[in-house]
Amino acid sequence: MTYRSDTARYDTMQYRASGKSGLKLPVVSLGLWQNFGGTRDYPSAMEILGHAFDAGVTHFDLANNYGPPAGSAEELFGQVLARDFRPYRDEMIVSTKAGYTMWPGPYGDGGGRKYLTASLDQSLKRMGLDYVDIFYSHRFDAETPLEETMGALAQAVRSGKALYVGISSYPEKETREAYRILKEMGVATTIHQPSYSMINRWFENDNTIEACGELGIGVIAFSPLAQGVLSGKYNKGAMQGTRAEDPNGSLRANAIEPRVLDAVEKLSAIARSRGQSMVQLALSWVLRRPEMTSALIGVRTLEQLKDNLGVLNNLKLSAEEIAAIDAATASAQLDHRPRW
């Protein structure tokens, strides 16, 4: 059966401009990291992606290494584009990134022009696209001159392979320098994608969020639930089948220490008082700041997606609620700064 999107898809979603650009993103964007790899079948993927688009989620965020295995998320999304989403391509923002190891040897990792250029070409091929809407430098690479990395981003725009460019996990100093270099090349730094949550505030502590506001760079937060910790599932002992089971996985051990889980219990009381789930409280908090363009969610099931989208019913936090959240999380801060 051919997919046809809901005609009411723009009725409830809110959209915000990315910094000083003309690019608007939904306040909730969908990321395909870890949950849309080789083990995801087409029907279940389309169920989630279709429901998201029907709800006004127009932004789908990928990277060259998303899977597992690496590249499989882009391949799956490419199938969805070809079979169901093609008529709606001009209503969608598709982003991808390059910066982490993708293939062996000296040209498959980092911020070099050869790697970034080749990776973007490969991403476009996997997704069956002529261009992406946003292309990111996925990480700062201290071994490559920033002029070269930003030059590769500018080249992507000039070649028509990307409409906008952004950076991910860059600290304040490197954010300002990237902005300066791109501006001299006549290209805007449209967006910054950092990890950011109630218990991971490095982006605030580093003053990078203030720099983005000052420079007119939009911000889209990834891991606003601290990889599920702020959903409360680990407080219920739900470790099996989660990131907590893998000692070499992306979830750091201190994210589920008793001090953190105690803070989550306190936050759950605040969520209940607002008539929200823990997930919705976490998203409301991330989106409270004027610099924030969007919160990037990752889901495994349709039920999780619906829970996330419920944040649209109650986005505003009072000063008293923000103070209560600060008090509840004071001893649970992780300050997970970027690691390259």
| CATH code at position 58 | 3.20.20.100
For residue 332, pLDDT over 70 is answered with yes
Per residue in 75-97, pLDDT (tens digit) is: 999 999 999 999 999 999 999 99
| Residue 48 within a domain | yes
Domains of the chain: total: 1
For residue 32, pLDDT over 80 is answered with yes
| Residue 5 within a domain | no
**149's tokens:** 């990395």
For the segment 104-133, the average pLDDT, to the nearest whole number, is: 98
| Residue 338 within a domain | no
Per residue in 228-287, pLDDT (tens digit) is: 999 998 876 655 545 444 455 556 667 779 999 999 999 999 999 999 999 999 999 999
Per residue in 137-190, pLDDT (tens digit) is: 999 999 999 999 999 999 999 999 999 999 999 999 999 999 999 999 999 999
Domain that holds residue 321: 15-332
Distance between start and end Cα atoms, the chain: 44
| Residue 340 within a domain | no
Give pTM, 2 decimals.
0.94
| Residue 339 within a domain | no
